[in-house]
Amino acid sequence: MGHLVEENLNTVRQQMELACLSSGRKVEDVKLLLATKTVPIEKLYIAMQAGETLFGENKAQELRGKFPLMEQFKQVEWHFIGHLQTNKIKDVVKYVTLIHSVDRLKLGQALHNYIVKENKTMDILVQINTSYEESKFGAPPELALELVKQLSQFETLNIKGLMTIGKLNATNDETRHCFQLLKSIQTQIKEKKFPRVEMDILSMGMSGDFKVAIEEGATIIRVGTSVFGPRYLPDEYYWNENMRQED
């Protein structure tokens, strides 16, 4: 008997294919990242057994809790998609291959300071607040270019693209506008040809809006609820400006 998580995965995969088809994109050009905040380890296990290989976590602490799964499923890649506090850098860098949420110079500087000591490099995305909602993290779109330019001075950071959270509880047109804005910022940055800046990744689209995001060029969509079911903590707990404890 199939499990609900597997059924949901099939549904999401089908919807991704349809969105690719209807927008003339190749299915293999869009990756599904499963957003795992608050999801019990049993459900993640099912998704991994079903062959999923890309997972994203919002908090350093929860990331650490998933270590047993990391040991067991070596082919799984973990990304960090939440607000990153500078005092958590060490825990995060240890486990993830891409940080989606670099949204300020101070964080870039702190990442660099740590990574340079470790003799490593780190792939990052720059998070942009395309909806201008105060409750969300991310650099203001007007400052994106300057921020990327400043971040590109850190030789430990490979800037792979951009990330955004589309406007929530909005019409398709409003969310589409957020994604189009991210795309246009990507184009502007590409033209500048900054060192270590590739800009190939657009991380955008969640359960409610990933179809629109794919139509607008997403290369990674981040899906939680549609696969794992509803969460019992409001997203504000992860996203709210008031949660900012430093910087």
Ligand X SMILES: *Cc1c(COP(=O)(O)O)cnc(C)c1O
Q: Which residues bind ligand X (CB under 6 A)?
A: 35, 37, 58, 81-82, 165, 206-208, 222-226, 238
Contact between 148 and 159 under an 8 Å Cβ cutoff? The reply is yes
Contacts of 193 (CB under 8 A, 6+ apart): none
As a whole number of angstroms, the distance between CA 175 and CA 170 comes to 6
| Strand ranges, E, within the chain | 31-35, 54-57, 77-80, 98-102, 122-127, 157-163, 197-203, 220-223
**Helices 172-192 and 144-151 meet at what angle, rounded to 10?**
40
Closer residue to ligand X (CB): 53 or 207: 207
Closer residue to ligand X (CB): 139 or 223: 223
Name the minimum Å distance from CB 64 to ligand X.
18
Closer residue to ligand X (CB): 125 or 194: 125
As a whole number of angstroms, the distance between CA 220 and CA 29 comes to 8
Q: Which residues pair with 220 in a beta bridge?
A: 31, 203
Name the minimum Å distance from CB 9 to ligand X.
13
Residue closest to ligand X (Cβ)? 224
Name the minimum Å distance from CB 120 to ligand X.
24
Closer residue to ligand X (CB): 121 or 225: 225
Residue 110: closest CA among 82, 126, 87: 87
Contacts of 142 (CB under 8 A, 6+ apart): none
Closer residue to ligand X (CB): 217 or 224: 224
Closer residue to ligand X (CB): 179 or 194: 179
